[in-house]
Amino acid sequence: MLFSSISFLYYFLPTVLGLYYIVPKQFKNFVLLFFSMLFYFYGEPVYSLLMIVSIVSGYLHGLWIDKVRSGKYAMIPMISSVIVSIGLLAYFKYFDFFIDNINSIFSASISPLKLALPIGISFYTFQILSYTIDVYRGETKVQKNILNFATYVALFPQLIAGPIVRYTTVAEELSTRTHSFENFSYGITRFMIGISKKVLLANTLGEISAIFHNANEKTLLFYWILALAFTLQIYFDFSGYSDMAIGLGRMFGFHFLENFHYPYIAKSISEFWRRWHMSLGTWFRDYVYIPMGGNRVPKLKWIRNIIVVWFLTGFWHGAQWNFILWGLYFAVFLMLEKYMLNRILDRLPFIVRHIYVLFFIVLSFVIFNANGIGEVMNNLKGMFGFLQIPLYNLETLYYLKSFSFVFIIAGIGATPLMVVLYRKLMSNKHSRYIMDVGQPIVIIILLLLITGYLVDGSFNPFLYFRF
């Protein structure tokens, strides 16, 4: 079930909210867990059992780690937790990838399993690992209530699309959380911002990809339009889902951390990754990069650490070589910036640094969006004039004109300009009154627009199926 669907907006969400606020406090987690499992079962009935196995494994490993933490073999249950969690992830997400590569390299004929990728497995696996590792480190207390632990893992607002919520972030709120009109109102507003980004912007930009593949004649300009469209699409899709998750969490009393902070205004690739998918970046930092020594090691070991982290970051996104290439692409830039480029960039005007970041980020998402290395090379050749295609044609100009308004709105929306304007208006008592009256009206209008879009059966892809 997608957040951006009629069934979720008008059936599932009102039902769970109604029951959640009716039942006494001691039953609220039960309501959340029941509907979270129902939410997952709706989309993945077979793999619901896999999630239950993962929950039980994480819960039992937490108890085991807590029991022997001060003993001689305290590391054994933590290692066991990592092996079980990563083993399940590797089996269902990467097994066929390894088989295909073994067959290709050794001319073998091993039959792939052709397993469907369980939705959200990359997210809830990392959440369970963050819990067991933090219990081992003594950074959080063990959760002895399996209902609370299961609610943490299966919580539907962030189950299939993130952000990756650390147990330490919501540990107290699992047992004690505050509900208020202000929190609920904020949650609705944040959810509506997120679903508007997803449905009205990301989905519309996503239509360009389908148009491109059906075009009678490709042009160099169209390759660039496609690259720019996907760069904006993936931002509004990912950040839109994070906004929806944060908003839904607030409706139920949870405070999830921010996951995106206007990454396209970054002045370096390093800064971009401090703003993009922050929950994933900090997860790899805290559980892989720093345990390997971080940057407090000799240069060669630091380079090794960067390569390992970014190889894993790319591989986490999908079992294809282009994702690995995408991760290593950023590893190269981070190393170059640290040892050479930053000294140059610091002397350059803001606009030049900004263009540098945007240019190489667009190229990165060309790698990300491809279906294999061959398509990566073909798309890059198309963008830089190495294919025998025209610069532009009438069809390309037609679509550029048709989507120009969406590009402009998306470009503005990817910056903090609207937030700055909103805060300025709210700082004045007269305009604040107008904003307070107008905000519910805007939300209703957005809901009607989104509903019309969804009822019409328009383009509504789900990028997270790849993860």
Q: For the residues of 106-129, what is the DSSP string, one character each?
A: H---PPP--PPPPTTHHHHHHHHH
Specify the 3-state DSSP secondary structure of 278.
helix
Residue 187's identity, in one-letter code, is G
DSSP-derived letter for residue 337 is I
Radius of gyration for the chain, computed over Cα atoms and rounded to the nearest angstrom? 23
- Burial bucket for residue 359 (CB in 10 Å: 0-12, 13-18, 19+): exposed
* Omega within 30 of 0 (cis) for the link into 163: yes
Which of 332, 315, 333 shows the shortest CA–CA distance to 324?
Answer: 315
Could you say which of 255, 261, 277, 317 is catalytic? 317
Q: Report CA 450 to chain centroid distance, whole Å.
A: 22
**How crowded is residue 285: how many other Cβ atoms within 10 Å of its Cβ?**
14
Q: Report CA 271 to chain centroid distance, whole Å.
A: 18
CA–CA separation, 139 and 233 (whole Å): 37
Active-site annotation holds for 354 = no
Would you please indicate which residues are annotated as catalytic (active-site) residues? 317
